[in-house]
A and B are shown apart, each in its own frame.
Chain A
Amino acid sequence: MRTMTPPSPDGATSPADGGGKRSVLAEWQLALPLALAFASIFLAPLLMLVGVSFFNDDKITQPGFGQWAKFLGDPFSYKVIADTMLLGLKTVCATIVIGYPLALIYLDASPRLQKVLIFIIVMPLLLSVVVRTFAWIVVLGREGVVNTLLMQFGIISEPLRLLQTELGLVISLTQIEMPLMLLPLISVMSRLDPNLRDASSALGASRWRTLFKVIVPLSMPGLVAGCLLVFASSTTAFISQTVIGGVRLIYLPLLIWQQSLVVFNWPFAAVVSLTLLVSVLTVVSALSYLGRRSGGYVHG
């Protein structure tokens, strides 16, 4: 806390200044327990993970770069990395395509309808991961809701294979991750000045022009935040990936699980984990860089 007391005439530090210094120190100290907690819960395990990855054998006795060499030397690894990132990007695209119009509908809805909509939007977050994943099995299965309906209407003659395909996985992830796209989008959009739309319209702009020149650029911060959350969450969604995608679709989380809990090769699992972390962080920082460049105009 700074006080407005002027320095005393002889140039000595006034008591108020000394008090100010002490309180700055106290504030810093107040944050210390939390910092220690974070360090022990997040930072220490991460450092241990890094440490474990530099051992050659699964008993963790011989230090070396063997596991890294094994992982990075295998073309299969790159396919898994690429598949995982692509899965994230496809889910992000699907949530944008469905989520953005939904956000626009939400904004135009009456306050009463908005309450109902927000409940539906948040619903996936309220259900257990296992329950909603199994629900998708019921929906997407050979004799599930989708196939039964499509066959009844005569659109298809053979059941579609949706389970254990990437398409089925993207469909279910889109529903599961939708709240993470919609909530930041709606929160940014509902803070936009409603007069902006009217102003655009009065200046002669069509609805589409207003959408692409005014609403989309101004909702960029929310869109980017949504993309980050959906991307990070869908690339690491182990249960959905495994239960709906099955064991033939291999993504990084599955590889980590196999190596750590099936084969018990912890150093290799550590290498894959760090690869997942770095790949997700790279895409996320690229997205947030783009977001910072386009964002920051809300309440301008």
Chain B
Amino acid sequence: MQEAVKANAARALDVEDLSVRYGTSTAVDGVTLAIEPGEVVALLGPSGCGKTTLLRVIAGFVRQAAGRVRVDGATIDHLPPNQRNIGIVFQNYALFPHMTVAENVAYGLRARGLKGPEVEARVSRFLETVQLGGFRERLPRQLSGGQQQRVALARALAIEPSILLLDEPFAALDRNLRLDMQIEIKRLQRTLGLTTILVTHDQDEAMSVADRIAVMHKGKVEQFDTPVAIYDRPQTLFVNGFIGTTNLMNGRVASLQNGRATVALDAGATIELAAPAGLGIGAPVLMSVRPEQLALSAIPGPDAWKVEPGLALPIGAQLVHEARTTDGTFLKIIEPRRAVSNDAVRVYCTLAADARPTLFPRST
């Protein structure tokens, strides 16, 4: 079925030092993103972080105060939205309620001056692509949420856009349908080789669909990297807290050598780990470590700290422990569930073998 849709050449998209201001507030603040041809990039962040505004600038609905947007090196800033050839799927789909499914998909083609049989052929082809061939004459209100989204997708794809923008595309779908649509969009995007930008506040969605994620906060891109790198090596405290769950422990830098720091944790242990630039000896720091990268042990040592075990919740194949350190920090620890466990004597906490803790400067 996919052979019917020819893959058009994927375009690179460059956002350079882009800023958007609404009155006195800055919605997007100096954002630079270099997006490769055919790549899926998720703009991820809490509401109000500027991700939707950035998408609307790329689509041409919002004018930037500064910066450029380039497609394959050519700036598109001077073009109105109707000359940018960018496909967009809105969160609420924004299907034309007075037109049938086929008329909706044909809308962009007719606006481009295409006529009769050619429009028909393309409408059929793209409705087949999204598996809605039998729904041509339905009105949008006669379709389910997932079907409406597929119509919106077919409508955006039918104009053979250079870039595809998706604004919270899965937010209005229920859980099961969401996964189906994520797979379908990913598959379509692969087949068509379309450069795609996806706005979402759902990190799982960003992780599963995107090749790279730009985590945004207060109008700035905090980190632009692959999902794995963002999870494992968060570069800022915000990214660290926003992606996944984490434990934060207070400490001070005891010594520095060859870019590695020895940190004395307030909980009572010394840990050696990679140091970020700009730390001095004695500097207050936060050590961030994921719950699955901590372990409980019965053996004391210099790199283990004493904890007071609390609740233990079995979640599937895992056991989630809650524990309190001597300095009053609550830790979450995730371990594989074992048949026999001697929790009573395991009162020390250490880093697990493959732990990748991250160090952040702490403002006191």
Contact = CB atoms under 8 A, between A and B. Distances in A.
B is a partner of A: yes
Interface of A: 193, 195-196, 198-206, 209, 213-214, 217-218, 297-300
Contacts of B156: 202-203
B98 A204 contact: no
Interface stretch (B35-43, B105-113, B271-279, B322-330): B105-113
Contacts of B86: 202
A298 B108 CA distance: 21
Interface residues of B, number: 29
Most chain B CB within a 10 A radius of its CB, from A201, A209, A297: A201
B96 A205 contact: no
Contact of A202 (B82, B97, B141): B82
B139 A200 contact: no
B61 A198 contact: yes
B220 interface: no
A206 B97 CA distance: 19
Given A198-B61, A297-B97, A298-B97, 9 more contacts: A195-B90, A199-B94, A200-B96, A202-B59, A202-B88, A204-B85, A204-B111, A206-B111, A300-B140
A205 B111 contact: yes
B94 A300 contact: no
Given A203-B107, A203-B155, A214-B96, A198 B82 contact: no
Contacts of B90: 195, 198-199
A196 B94 CA distance: 5
B92 interface: yes
Given A195-B90, A214-B96, A300-B139, A205 B107 contact: yes
Interface in B127-151: 139-141
Nearest to B83: A204
Interface string B71-106: 000000000111111111010101111100000000
A202 B163 CA distance: 11
A254 to B, nearest CB: 42
Nearest to B112: A204
Nearest to B141: A300
A204 B108 contact: yes
Contacts of A214: 96
B13 to A, nearest CB: 15
A161 to B, nearest CB: 45
Contacts of A218: 96-98
B98 A297 contact: yes
B108 A217 contact: no
B87 A196 contact: no
A181 B87 CA distance: 36
B230 to A, nearest CB: 29
A206 B95 CA distance: 17
Contacts of A193: 92, 94
A115 B95 CA distance: 30
Interface of B: 59-61, 80-88, 90, 92, 94-98, 107-108, 111-112, 139-141, 155-156, 159
Nearest to B105: A203
A203 B108 contact: yes
Most chain A CB within a 10 A radius of its CB, from B86, B108, B112, B139: B108
A203 B97 contact: no
A299 B97 CA distance: 8
B133 to A, nearest CB: 21
Contacts of B96: 196, 199-200, 213-214, 218
A213 B107 contact: yes
A141 to B, nearest CB: 47
A205 B61 CA distance: 14
Contacts of A199: 88, 90, 94-96
Contacts of B95: 199
A115 to B, nearest CB: 18
A300 B97 contact: yes
A198 B94 contact: yes
Contact of B82 (A201, A298, A299): A201
B80 A203 contact: no
24 contacts: A193-B92, A193-B94, A195-B94, A196-B94, A198-B59, A198-B81, A199-B88, A200-B107, A201-B80, A201-B81, A202-B59, A202-B81, A202-B82, A204-B108, A204-B112, A205-B108, A205-B111, A206-B111, A213-B96, A218-B96, A297-B97, A297-B98, A298-B97, A300-B98
A209 to B, nearest CB: 6
A298 B82 CA distance: 24
Contacts of A204: 82-83, 85, 108, 111-112, 159
Contacts of B155: 203
* Pairs of residues from A and B, 5 with the lowest C-beta to C-beta distance, nearest first: A300-B97, A203-B108, A195-B94, A297-B98, A205-B111
A205 B82 contact: yes
Contacts of A297: 97-98
A203 B110 CA distance: 10
A57 B36 CA distance: 92
Contacts of B140: 300
A108 B114 CA distance: 31
